[in-house]
């Protein structure tokens, strides 16, 4: 019988944790504003014990952690694994923390060479993507393109159950910086589908983005668009540029189905753009994918 365990997705801004029962199903869930970006150096071990384990009554349970907690900003740096990588290889790279009390393992991140020759890395998304694969045996066959939107969006090429290669995009971070700290800054917060679609159209094929971005200002000051629509238009420009250009970097066209894994609200925007460009698209909840990945990794470790 499998042992109950504590599953943790520990990112830069937030932490999600579940107590998973012997039947593989989550029994309790908590979320904490304890992202590694908010921790003092050396604070992760203490906060894990006195806040996370304590809140879930999981002091005696083994734990498996993914995300930025394995970076140089987190608990301890865990080396990256090279692509291509499967769930079995990822499990083989689990790093056990040397500590008193119940055992803790941290999932390694992945690195690859991008098609343009540059390096790329991820931490956390590998567990989500391979968790999606592990949840359905049919997904371990053929070629899939995974879109994982977020602060640093990932586009991941999965071939026969392995993460073969991926490309990162700073779309989410650029949106926040431009929206709050640039000449394009706006206090508008309402979603406007029409303005978003106009931004997508203005993104064209994703080229000349630095020039196209200025239209988020020129349309407002020139009287062609109300200031209240500027944020949605900017979002459309950035996401539209990303979706129009990045799949081609990975050598993937509309004939390859795309699966979006992540926050469902943000995923709906990517879905809208991808569908308009002729891609077949499915959307899967990122939290469920993370939990599936952590459970798959734990299945080879926590056995009574």
Residue 2 pLDDT grade (very low, low, confident, very high; cuts 50, 70, 90): confident
Residue 304 pLDDT grade (very low, low, confident, very high; cuts 50, 70, 90): very low
Residue 35 pLDDT grade (very low, low, confident, very high; cuts 50, 70, 90): very high
Task: Say which residues have a Cβ less than 8 Å from residue 299's Cβ, sequence separation at least 6.
Answer: 2, 24
Residue intervals of the chain classified under CATH 3.30.420.310 are: 169-285
Question: What pLDDT is recorded for position 256?
Answer: 87
Question: What pLDDT is recorded for position 301?
Answer: 63
Q: What is the mean pLDDT of residues 209-224?
A: 96
% of the chain beyond a pLDDT of 70 = 97
Q: What is the mean pLDDT of residues 266-272?
A: 95
CA atoms within 13 A of residue 137's CA, in its CB half-sphere: 0
- Res 266 pLDDT > 50: yes
Q: In what order do the strands lie in the sheet with 258-262?
A: 162-169, 153-159, 143-148, 258-262, 281-285
Report how far apart, in Å, the C-alpha atoms of 146 and of each of 20, 257, 258 are.
26, 9, 6
Pick one of 3.50.50.60, 3.30.420.300, 3.40.50.460, 3.40.50.620 as the CATH number of 5-141+286-298. 3.30.420.300
Domain 169-285 is classified in which CATH homologous superfamily?
2-keto-3-deoxy-galactonokinase, C-terminal domain (3.30.420.310)
Rg (the chain; Cα; Å): 20
Query: For the segment 67-80, what is each residue's pLDDT rounded down to a tens digit?
Result: 999 999 999 999 99
Higher pLDDT, 22 or 54: 54
- Res 211 pLDDT > 90: yes
Residue entry with tokens 């392995």:
162
Residue 191 pLDDT grade (very low, low, confident, very high; cuts 50, 70, 90): confident
Cβ atoms of 28 and 6 within 8 Å: the answer is: no
Average pLDDT, the chain: 93
pTM comes to: 0.93
Query: For the segment 271-290, what is each residue's pLDDT rounded down to a tens digit?
Result: 999 998 889 999 999 999 99
Residue 101 pLDDT grade (very low, low, confident, very high; cuts 50, 70, 90): confident
Residue intervals of the chain classified under CATH 3.30.420.300 are: 5-141+286-298
Q: What's the token pair of residue 127?
A: 């567990």
Residue 303 pLDDT grade (very low, low, confident, very high; cuts 50, 70, 90): very low
């Amino acid at each position: 019988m499998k042992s109950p365990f504590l599953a943790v997705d520990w990112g830069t801004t937030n932490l999600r944790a579940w107590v998973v029962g012997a039947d593989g199903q989550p029994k309790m869930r908590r979320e904490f504003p304890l992202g590694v970006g908010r921790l003092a150096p050396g604070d992760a071990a203490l906060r894990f014990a006195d806040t996370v384990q304590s809140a879930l009554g999981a002091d005696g349970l083994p734990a498996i952690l993914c995300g930025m907690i394995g970076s140089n900003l987190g608990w301890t740096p865990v080396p990256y694994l090279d692509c291509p990588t499967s769930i079995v290889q990822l499990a083989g790279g689990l790093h056990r923390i040397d500590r008193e009390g119940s055992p803790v393992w941290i999932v390694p991140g992945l690195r690859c060479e991008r098609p343009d020759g540059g390096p790329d890395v991820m931490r956390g998304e590998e567990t989500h993507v391979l968790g999606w694969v592990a949840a359905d045996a049919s997904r371990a066959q053929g070629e899939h393109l995974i879109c994982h939107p977020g602060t640093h969006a990932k586009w991941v090429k999965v071939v026969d159950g392995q993460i073969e290669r991926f490309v990162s995009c700073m779309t989410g971070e650029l949106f926040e910086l431009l929206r709050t700290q640039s000449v394009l800054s706006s206090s508008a917060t309402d979603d406007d589908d029409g303005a978003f679609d106009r931004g997508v159209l203005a993104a064209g094929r994703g080229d000349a983005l630095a020039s196209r971005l200025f239209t988020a200002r020129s349309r407002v000051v020139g009287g062609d668009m109300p200031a209240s629509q500027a944020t949605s238009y900017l979002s459309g420009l950035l996401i539209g540029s990303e979706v129009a250009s990045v799949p081609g970097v990975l050598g993937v066209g509309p004939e390859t189905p795309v699966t979006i894994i992540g926050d469902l609200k943000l995923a709906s925007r990517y879905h809208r753009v991808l569908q308009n460009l002729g891609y077949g698209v499915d959307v899967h909840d990122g939290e469920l994918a993370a939990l599936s990945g952590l459970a798959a990794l734990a299945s080879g470790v926590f056995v009574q």
